Amino acid sequence: MSHTRFLTIPALASALSLAAFSGPPPVRAQGADEHLVISIESAADTLRAGGSSEILLRFTPDKGFHVNAVPPVGFSLDPVSAATPGDSVIVPRDSSTGYMDLRRPVRLPFIMAKSLPAGPRQLRGTVTFYYCSDEEGWCRRVKRPFSLPLFIR
């Protein structure tokens, strides 16, 4: 006699919600920043209330473009996210050019509120950065909103 196993609705919902926490794939930037691929993810997708982690920001510019280390990358978090930014943004620099070292991610620390109930959340915010064309000599300021799935345990 063969046995077939079915997932209950709560088990299926739980499995689907965990699959969503793998972080977003790199997104091809649109509009004013069409020369750059931006990847934004959380270093940890499961946190405890009051816990801290980092947002990891990676840039892949087209040939002939660079991302500036100065002015530095900035970020803000939406108050609805119940998270606060950490003390400092960690921007790796390439000592030979002074630009951002794109081999390592920019690290944006954050702390979740201590009073959060367990369950899924969205960490929402905006990152601001500058990138430039080496050949044409122009730079653009970009404000990119993001939303990352987290689970509070």
Q: Is residue 8 part of a domain?
A: no
- Of the pLDDT bands very low, low, confident and very high (cuts 50, 70, 90), residue 28 is very low
Q: Is residue 92 part of a domain?
A: yes
- How does pLDDT run across 34-60, given as a tens digit for each residue? 899 899 999 999 999 999 999 999 999
- How does pLDDT run across 77-106, given as a tens digit for each residue? 999 999 999 988 999 999 999 999 999 999
Q: Give the CATH number for residue 140.
A: 2.60.40
H/E element, 10: helix 9-19
Q: Which residues span the domain enclosing 80?
A: 25-152
Residue 73 DSSP code? P
- C-alpha 111/C-alpha 83 separation (Å) is 5
Q: Is residue 123 part of a domain?
A: yes
69: pLDDT strictly greater than 80: yes
Domain count, the chain: 1
Write down the pLDDT at residue 56: 95
Write down the pLDDT at residue 19: 42
Write down the pLDDT at residue 33: 62
Q: Is residue 64 part of a domain?
A: yes
DSSP string, 21-41: GG-PPPEE--GGGTTEEEEEE
Residues 144, 130 contacting (CB under 8 angstroms)? no
The pTM for the full model equals 0.76
Residues of the chain with pLDDT > 90, as a percent, come to: 73
Q: Is residue 143 part of a domain?
A: yes
Q: Is residue 6 part of a domain?
A: no
Q: Is residue 19 part of a domain?
A: no
- C-alpha 92/C-alpha 106 separation (Å) is 6
| Length of the chain, in residues | 153
Write out the two tokens for 124: 């929402």
Q: Is residue 1 part of a domain?
A: no
